[in-house]
Amino acid sequence: MLTRRKLLTSAGMAAISAPLIACTLAEPAEAANAVATPRQTAGPFYPDEFPADHDADLLQFMDMEAPARGEAVHVSGAVTDAAGEPVSGATIDLWQCDANGVYHHPGDREEGRDAAFQGFGRTETDAQGRYAFRTIRPVPYPGRTPHIHLRVWRDGTSVLTTQFYDADRADLNMADGLYRSMSAAERALVTVPFIENEGEPGTLMTQLDVRLA
């Protein structure tokens, strides 16, 4: 018998896969203009241990009835190497705070935590170097502009940690010390639009492409 979680997972993975084509706004090598994605700190809230549920759908945690709060976003992207060739079989970690600005980490506060938000997800790139997640549009919290953390692993070794920023929050971005620490060219590579997802009304989509050094 299919459990509700299995049904949601099947539907969720179909929804995750669909935007891979729709969100391909530019070829990764062209978008990056042959410049490597800038490295950024992982921050203090990378998981000490992975949650029991750490798939690519951060909107549904375990068998909870309620979905995560926040604006749903379909994230897609591709990982390429320094020559612009797709990197298949890379492990991608994505993590961020919930809609209340709280990380699901013992180092952050528990008050206001959205128990329905997974907080951390992991997936692998396909033969074309592509990957996808479902998550929420990032929100600000004291001291930081909205951002999504991303880490890339190859053969069990972490090769890049970075952060992506919301292009619609220019005011908060330029007040953020980590954002300002990058050059204008680097900022352009990790500042992304969140646009309406015509394939699923009421949700957004964005593209987080990564080029390794």
Helix (H) or strand (E) holding 164: strand 157-166
In the CATH scheme, what is the homologous superfamily, with its name and number, of domain 4-211? Aromatic compound dioxygenase (2.60.130.10)
Asked if pLDDT for residue 78 goes beyond 70, the answer is yes
pTM listed for this prediction = 0.85
For the chain, the average pLDDT equals 87
Distance, CA of 186 to CA of 206 (rounded, Å): 18
Contact between 202 and 70 under an 8 Å Cβ cutoff? The reply is no
> Reduced to 3 states, what is the DSSP secondary structure of residue 195?
strand
Distance, CA of 152 to CA of 212 (rounded, Å): 9
The band of 20, judged by pLDDT with boundaries at 50, 70 and 90, is very low
Instruction: Identify the pLDDT of residue 83.
Output: 95
Asked if pLDDT for residue 90 goes beyond 60, the answer is yes
Asked if pLDDT for residue 33 goes beyond 90, the answer is no
The band of 17, judged by pLDDT with boundaries at 50, 70 and 90, is very low
Asked if pLDDT for residue 10 goes beyond 80, the answer is no
Q: How many CA atoms lie within 13 A of 5 on its CB side?
A: 9
Distance, CA of 159 to CA of 128 (rounded, Å): 18
Instruction: Identify the pLDDT of residue 66.
Output: 82
Contact between 49 and 127 under an 8 Å Cβ cutoff? The reply is no
Question: 100: exposed, middle or buried (C-beta count within 10 Å: 0-12, 13-18, 19+)?
Answer: middle
> Reduced to 3 states, what is the DSSP secondary structure of residue 154?
strand
**Amino acid, res. 91:** T
Q: Pick the residue with more confidence: 49 or 11?
A: 49
Contact between 121 and 131 under an 8 Å Cβ cutoff? The reply is no
